[in-house]
């Protein structure tokens, strides 16, 4: 069985439950797959009724930060054991699913796939990380994996890297010193791939950078303003960085 796995932990600054309340109905509508939400009791109590969703309450690890704010992203390596599915589409909670595109990606025999490339929908080509590390970063926003020895090894490797993250930052000269899953998975794939590359999702991840402010979300579209211009994108999956979407 194929299903969707999401993580959702509120912080004192961001209400991820409000984002989940927007993204989960879109996933249900467009993918029609079972959904499991990994969360904690505090966040669970804030969530509105979302219909049939399988909840897994865990004690999440704390201690990481981004922009001097708490960042609860240290449990992603547990996705392999937390997922009840043979094949899992593991998504960031801020991934807005406006199409069935992910179903195509999941309909393969690959053990593990992530995006290596990103498409900035503002047209600014904001994401250039080639000088931020010695290895290419991957995007852990969308991870498609099936229960297999290789996928398990990758998640186990991410755990190993997480526990020694500063060492790996030095090794690969990663400028981003706080733990970031994108780099942890990139390192794991690099190492387990025998330093010779790995398979990726052969498409770019559509992303709206944090500098864009989301103004409206409908069942089929997102409207944002960026550098004084208002733009709408429809029927296209979108990873939204702007955490202000919790209030849209």
Partner 1 sequence: MDISKLKNISDRSFHIALAKKNALEKAESSMLLAYSGHLFKADAETINLVQTLKGRLQKFVILDSNNNPMMIEDADNFLDKLIAKQQEALNVYHQAYSDSIKKV
Where do we find the tokens 């959702």?
8
Separation of alpha carbons 98 and 50, rounded Å: 17
Site residues for partner 1, window 118-157 (CB under 8 A)? Answer: 119, 121-123
Q: Which of 204, 223, 244, 248 binds partner 1 (CB under 8 A)?
A: 204
Which segment (10-18, 30-38, 51-59, 198-206) binds partner 1 by CB under 8 A? 198-206
The DSSP string of 101-149 is: HHHHHHSS--SEEEEEEEEETTSS-----TTT-SS---EEEEEEEESSH
Position 108 contacts partner 1 (CB under 8 A):
yes
Q: Which of 58, 192, 203, 241 binds partner 1 (CB under 8 A)?
A: 203
The C-alpha angle 92, 98, 100, rounded to 5 degrees, equals 90
Site size for partner 1 (CB under 8 A): 23
Distance of CA 177 to the CA centre of its chain: 19
The C-alpha angle 192, 108, 155, rounded to 5 degrees, equals 30
Which segment (28-36, 47-55, 97-105, 158-166) binds partner 1 by CB under 8 A? 97-105
Shortest gap between Cβ of 207 and partner 1 (angstroms)? 11
Q: Which of 50, 58, 82, 233 binds partner 1 (CB under 8 A)?
A: 233
Shortest gap between Cβ of 114 and partner 1 (angstroms)? 12
Which segment (48-56, 84-92, 194-202, 209-217) binds partner 1 by CB under 8 A? 194-202
Shortest gap between Cβ of 116 and partner 1 (angstroms)? 11
Position 218 contacts partner 1 (CB under 8 A):
no
Shortest gap between Cβ of 55 and partner 1 (angstroms)? 30
Separation of alpha carbons 170 and 158, rounded Å: 16
Separation of alpha carbons 178 and 176, rounded Å: 6
Position 229 contacts partner 1 (CB under 8 A):
yes
Where do we find the tokens 């709408």?
232
| Percentages of the chain per state (helix, strand, coil), in multiples of 5 | 30, 30, 40
Site residues for partner 1, window 19-58 (CB under 8 A)? Answer: none
Three-state secondary structure call for residue 60: coil
Shortest gap between Cβ of 216 and partner 1 (angstroms)? 16
Contacts with partner 1, residue ranges (CB under 8 A): 99, 101, 104-105, 107-110, 119, 121-123, 199-200, 202-204, 206, 229, 231, 233, 235-236
């Amino acid at each position: 069985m194929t299903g969707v796995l999401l993580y959702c932990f509120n912080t004192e600054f961001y209400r991820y439950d409000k984002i989940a309340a927007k993204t989960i109905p879109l996933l249900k509508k467009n993918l029609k797959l079972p959904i499991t939400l990994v969360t904690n009791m505090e966040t669970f109590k804030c969530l509105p009724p979302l219909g049939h969703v399988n909840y897994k309450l865990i004690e999440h690890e704390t201690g990481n930060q981004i922009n001097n704010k708490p960042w609860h992203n240290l449990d992603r390596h547990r996705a392999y054991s937390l997922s009840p599915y043979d094949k899992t589409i593991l998504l960031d909670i801020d991934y807005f699913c406006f199409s069935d595109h992910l179903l195509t990606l999941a309909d393969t025999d690959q053990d593990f796939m992530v995006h290596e490339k990103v498409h900035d929908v503002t047209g600014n080509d904001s994401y250039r990380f080639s000088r931020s590390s010695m290895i290419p970063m991957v995007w852990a926003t969308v991870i498609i994996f099936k229960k297999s020895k290789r996928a398990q090894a990758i998640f186990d490797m991410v755990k190993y890297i997480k526990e020694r993250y500063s060492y790996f930052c030095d090794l690969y000269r990663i400028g981003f010193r706080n733990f970031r899953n994108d780099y942890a998975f990139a390192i794991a794939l690099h190492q387990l791939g025998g330093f010779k590359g790995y398979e990726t999702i052969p498409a770019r991840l559509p992303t709206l950078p944090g500098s864009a402010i989301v103004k409206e979300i409908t069942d089929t579209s997102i409207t944002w303003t960026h550098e004084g211009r208002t733009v709408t994108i429809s029927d296209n999956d979108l990873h939204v960085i702007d955490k202000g979407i919790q209030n849209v």
